[in-house]
Amino acid sequence: MPRVTTVEAFRLSLPLVHAFQTSSHRKTHLEHILVRVADADGAVGWGEIASPSDPYYCSETVDICWLTLQRYLAPALRGADWDHPAQVRALWKRVRGHHFAKAGLDIACWDLWSRAAGTPLARALGGDRRAIEAGVSLGIEPTIDDLLVQVGRYAAEGYRRIKLKIAPGWDVEPVRAVRAAHPGLPLHVDANGAYGEDQSEVFTALDRFGLTMIEQPYAPGALAAHARLQARLETPVCLDESVDDLDQLDTALELGAGRVLNIKVSRMGGLTVAGIAHDRAVEAGWRVWCGGMHEFGVGRAANVAIAALPGFTLPSDVSGSDKYYAHDVVEPPIRATEGRVPVPETPGLGHEIDEPLVRRLASATLTV
Ligand code: OSB
Ligand code: MG
């Protein structure tokens, strides 16, 4: 029975190889929190809190995660008895929300447990794939020509689909240009909730480009508006920000607010909940895929593991580390070959964490 005796956390910022612009903001560096848990036998597990620095994607910023981890979540985990990592989320069920911070600890407990059991994390979660299909997410570029360069590059690398960020003023024209240059490429768009229902003619126009899906067109709470849009579009609507927890998922499934779910381990609060969301959405006839938050190698390896579950039939936003970071914190770094990322066959996350590097780069550390 693992009993976590120490929780350590490290704040660190890594430079992006290419600035990323969405409907709300532009980033050149990302700051995440790495979490290390250890038990009395000296077994160790690592997790990542991949929350944004600014409250544009969700309200849970990196500063808030740091405090929540220190004051509530790490103290709840420390010293508690559990047999299986699926039980740990019950330890912090009184804490409302704070899914990114919970996800970091949940991943670390799954890693600790599956390493100790000698089992690859993907297998511990019930995944049977040997490799997962990878797609890339491309930000808003200064010009359509710049975007075409990016699309050409990742299509040539063999990625299985390309997702384009859109926003009012950067939607139908860039999609038209990419579609004209790549007629057969699996393509989808992500609006990050930047549109109102009064702008729904944009989606009528986008419905003609054979997109695999339109991700999060409206604001997170607008489930009824998403259902009305889905009812009149051929293109599947995909929910991301709208589904933070299993109750919201049940409501979305009941309303028919889409046909596809982007499952993010971070947004949903960990691997256990992500697995339950996968089961429920697939059972209801929706398609699912694994989204990302530009994770460093620790969170990226957790995404690879969950994406090995059988219901993840659409390519995931789990590109190689090299799309984002020149030097990742894990060994070996995550790599895609011809648009496929291998699922590790070694215990736990299947990647070693460069702990000296993490300690050296950390701008702050905490120990509970
Ligand atoms: O909406 O999927 C999103 C990154 C940060 C915030 C929101 C989103 C994203 C991505 C990144 O699209 C996907 C990735 O990690 O490669
Ligand atoms: Mg999204």
Cα-Cα-Cα-Cα dihedral sign, residues 183, 187, 193, 196: positive
- For residue 4, the cross-strand partners are 39
* Same domain assignment for residues 204 and 343: yes
* Same domain assignment for residues 43 and 154: no
- Find out whether the beta carbon of 293 lies less than 6 Å from any atom of ligand 1: yes
Proximal ligand: closest to the CA of 213: 2
Of the candidates 326, 267, 354, 338, the residue with the CA atom closest to the CA atom of residue 302: 267
So what's the pLDDT on residue 27? 86
pLDDT above 90 (res 68): yes
Omega of the bond leading into 183 within 30 degrees of 0 (cis) = no
Total domain count, the chain = 2
* Same domain assignment for residues 361 and 280: no
* CA gap 223, 248 in Å, rounded: 9
Decide: 241 and 218 in contact? Cβ < 8 Å. Answer: no
CATH number where 76 lies: 3.30.390.10
186's CB contacts (< 8 A; 6+ apart) are: 135, 160, 161, 162, 212, 315
| Percent of the chain topping pLDDT 90 | 95
Q: How many CB atoms lie within 10 A of CB 122?
A: 26
- Enter the tokens of residue 233: 């579009």
* Same domain assignment for residues 211 and 345: yes
So what's the pLDDT on residue 81? 94
So what's the pLDDT on residue 56? 92
* CA gap 351, 62 in Å, rounded: 24
| Percent of the chain topping pLDDT 70 | 100
163 is catalytic: no
**Mean per-residue pLDDT, 313-340:** 93
Decide: 253 and 230 in contact? Cβ < 8 Å. Answer: no
CATH number where 149 lies: 3.20.20.120
* Same domain assignment for residues 44 and 82: yes
* Same domain assignment for residues 191 and 287: yes
**Mean per-residue pLDDT, 136-155:** 96
247's CB contacts (< 8 A; 6+ apart) are: none
Q: H or E segment at 153? A: helix 144-156
Which one from 27, 102, 163, 165 is the annotated catalytic residue? Answer: 165
The torsion angles phi and psi of 95, rounded to 5 degrees, stand at -85, 115
- Find out whether the beta carbon of 315 lies less than 6 Å from any atom of ligand 1: no
Strands 26-39 and 44-49: antiparallel
* Same domain assignment for residues 92 and 130: no
- Find out whether the beta carbon of 292 lies less than 6 Å from any atom of ligand 1: yes
* Same domain assignment for residues 90 and 221: no
So what's the pLDDT on residue 25? 79
Nearest 10 degrees: Cα torsion 185, 191, 197, 202: -40
So what's the pLDDT on residue 23? 72
The mean pLDDT of the chain is 96
* CA gap 164, 94 in Å, rounded: 38
- Find out whether the beta carbon of 137 lies less than 6 Å from any atom of ligand 1: yes
* Same domain assignment for residues 54 and 170: no
pLDDT above 80 (res 300): yes
* Same domain assignment for residues 101 and 136: no
The model's pLDDT over 304-314, given as tens digits with 9 standing for 90+, comes to: 999 999 999 99
pLDDT above 90 (res 19): no
So what's the pLDDT on residue 22? 73
Give the side-chain half-sphere CA count within 13 A for 2. Answer: 27
**Mean per-residue pLDDT, 234-238:** 98
pLDDT above 90 (res 24): no
pLDDT above 80 (res 1): no
* Same domain assignment for residues 196 and 345: yes
What is the Rg, in whole angstroms, of the alpha carbon atoms belonging to the chain?
Answer: 20
Transcribe 309-323 into DSSP letters.
Answer: STTB-S-BS---GGG
* CA gap 362, 66 in Å, rounded: 13
264 is catalytic: yes
Confidence of residue 11 (pLDDT cuts 50, 70, 90): very high
Compute, in angstroms, the gap from residue 353 CA to the centroid of ligand 2.
27
Q: Which residue has the tokens 């770094």?
A: 333
Domain containing residue 77: 4-118+355-367
Amino acid residing at 81: D
* Same domain assignment for residues 42 and 140: no
Decide: 50 and 100 in contact? Cβ < 8 Å. Answer: yes
So what's the pLDDT on residue 323? 87
The model's pLDDT over 152-204, given as tens digits with 9 standing for 90+, comes to: 999 999 999 999 999 999 999 999 999 999 999 999 999 999 999 999 999 99
